[in-house]
Structure 1
Amino acid sequence: MRIDARQNRDRLLSAARSAVTEQGADVSLRDVARRAGVGMGTLYRHFPSREALLETLLRAGFDDLADRATALGTADAPGEALMIWLREAVAAAHEYKGAIDAMVAAIADPGSPLHASCQTMKAAGGELLKRAQNAGEARSDIDGSDLFAVLAALAWLRDQPAFAARTDLHFDLMGGALLVRSKTP
């Protein structure tokens, strides 16, 4: 890639990161191009669709979450490791307002540019879930899709200003429902 094209791509990603963080995933692509100081043609040459731009923004975060799940996969307390990963995944999804809608749609659409990244992240969380289930620390009647649904619900709640003050409670309620509680006599 030519140096000027690389610089334009980097400026577009930086502008998109800021714009999506501030305004949400449905930010105007014209605004992204304006912030980057490039024309719409340049934006579309690098990112032919909004989804392609979001995929590039989110891919590194999804890869980090997959790596984090692998690292947590050796933890002594699998249920706790699952909750740590889930909390980090919810925070990552919340970083880009409104991106959870694109993530949920991408999981169901193999043709989506976001599909592979979302599937990798979902599978990594699913492995943590299986480990917690095998240790008797997580419910056995759920799978990676259920875990992703809880992640999506928690990220959506966190995006809602009316619920912002109670996000920790919501996490404890919904995330905790994944775990098996030992019965005290």
Structure 2
Amino acid sequence: MTRRDAARNWQHIVDTGRTFLDEGRPLRLNEVAREAAIGVATVYRHFPTAEALLETLARPGLEKLVREAEAALRGDDAWAAFAGFLVAGIDAQLADPALQPIFAATTHELPETAELVARLDALTGELLAWAHTAGRIRPHVQRADVVRLMCGVVFAATVHAAPGERPGLTRRYLDVVLEGLAVRA
């Protein structure tokens, strides 16, 4: 097999995996192989586990969130930067079903995923520290609280809602969370 064939197979597996996620289907490598019409051994050679494929699918979204957090830190207003990044995180999770399982996982298969998640955690911590320093957020709120609240907002808006209702619900729930986190002048 040539490198070109290997690259084409890799991309076809990724595209098929994306279709599975977008349709809400479980990411099972044997089924991905069957639907992609690629040998199971080839799929496993590229992606030894379903988690490795999931993390590969999530990577562009994680990279985009890192860029958005870095841009938020260059802003002028701590609260607007913090809240804006949380909105971006919520929107990203709604747009890409690969992200929420990555955020919920305690370990990651691929080193790149672990690095990106660690970078996002650090950036979230920096945004939170900036909001604390500016006196805009309750002092007892920690980074882990923010991460859990964001996962909770997405889960609450997706568990019992039709897809078309989810963006409005997540914004409403996020507004409630932000209202609770903010310090009043």
Q: TM-score range with shorter-chain normalisation?
A: 0.7 to 0.9
Corresponding residue of 2:29: 29
TM-score (norm 1): 0.84
Per the alignment, residue 145 of structure 2 pairs with: 146
Can you list the C-alpha shifts for 1:51-104, whole angstroms capped at 9, x where unaligned?
Answer: 111111112211211121111112111111111111111121233337524422
Amino acid at match of 1:54: L
Aligned to 1:127: 126
Tell whether 2:19 aligns with 1:18.
Answer: yes
2:169 to 152, 163, 166: 166
Displacement after TM superposition at 1:134 (Å)? 0.9
Could you say what the CA RMSD is over the residues aligned between the two structures, in angstroms? 2.2
In 1, Cα distance between the equivalents of 2:68 and 2:55?
A: 19
- The Cα of 1:7 is off from its aligned counterpart by 0.7
**C-alpha distance in 1, partners of 2:89/2:12?**
26
Task: Tell me the distance in 2 between the aligned counterparts of 1:66 and 1:98.
Answer: 16
1:25-174 to 2 correspondences below 5 Å: 26-97=26-97, 99-105=99-105, 108-109=106-107, 112-113=109-110, 114-162=113-161, 164=166, 166-174=169-177
- Once the two structures are superposed, residues 112-159 of structure 1 have per-residue CA deviations (whole angstroms, 9 ceiling, x without a partner) of 434333222122122111111111112221222111111111121232
* Distance in structure 2 (CA, Å) of the matches to 1:119 and 1:133: 21
Q: 1:63·1:121 contact (CA, 8 Å) conserved in 2?
A: no
Once the 2 structures are TM-superposed, how far is the Cα of residue 47 of structure 1 from its aligned partner?
Answer: 0.7
Give the Cα–Cα distance (whole angstroms) in 2 for the partners of residues 176 and 51 of structure 1.
Answer: 35
The answer for the alignment partner of 2:183 in structure 1 is: 180
**CA displacement at 1:39 relative to structure 2:** 2.0
Contact 2:93–2:154 (Cα < 8 Å) also in 1: yes
Amino acid at match of 1:11: H
For structure 2, the residue ranges without an aligned partner over 5 or more in a row are none
CA distance in 2, matches of 1:59, 1:178: 29
Q: Percent identity?
A: 29
Cα distance in 2 for partners of 1:51, 1:148 equals 21
Structure 1: tracts of 5 or more residues without a match:
none
How much does 1:8 deviate? 0.7
- 1:56 maps to amino acid: T
CA contact (8 A) 1:98 1:159 kept: no
Aligned to 1:6: 7
In 1, the alpha carbon distance for the partners of 2:171 and 2:50 equals 31
- Superposed CA offset, 1:23-65 (max 9, x none): 15x3333332233331221111111111111111112211211
On the 8 A contact 1:79/1:132 being kept in 2, the answer is: yes
Q: Are the aligned partners of 2:62 and 2:99 in contact in 1 as well (CA < 8 Å)?
A: no
**One-letter code of the match for 1:21?**
D
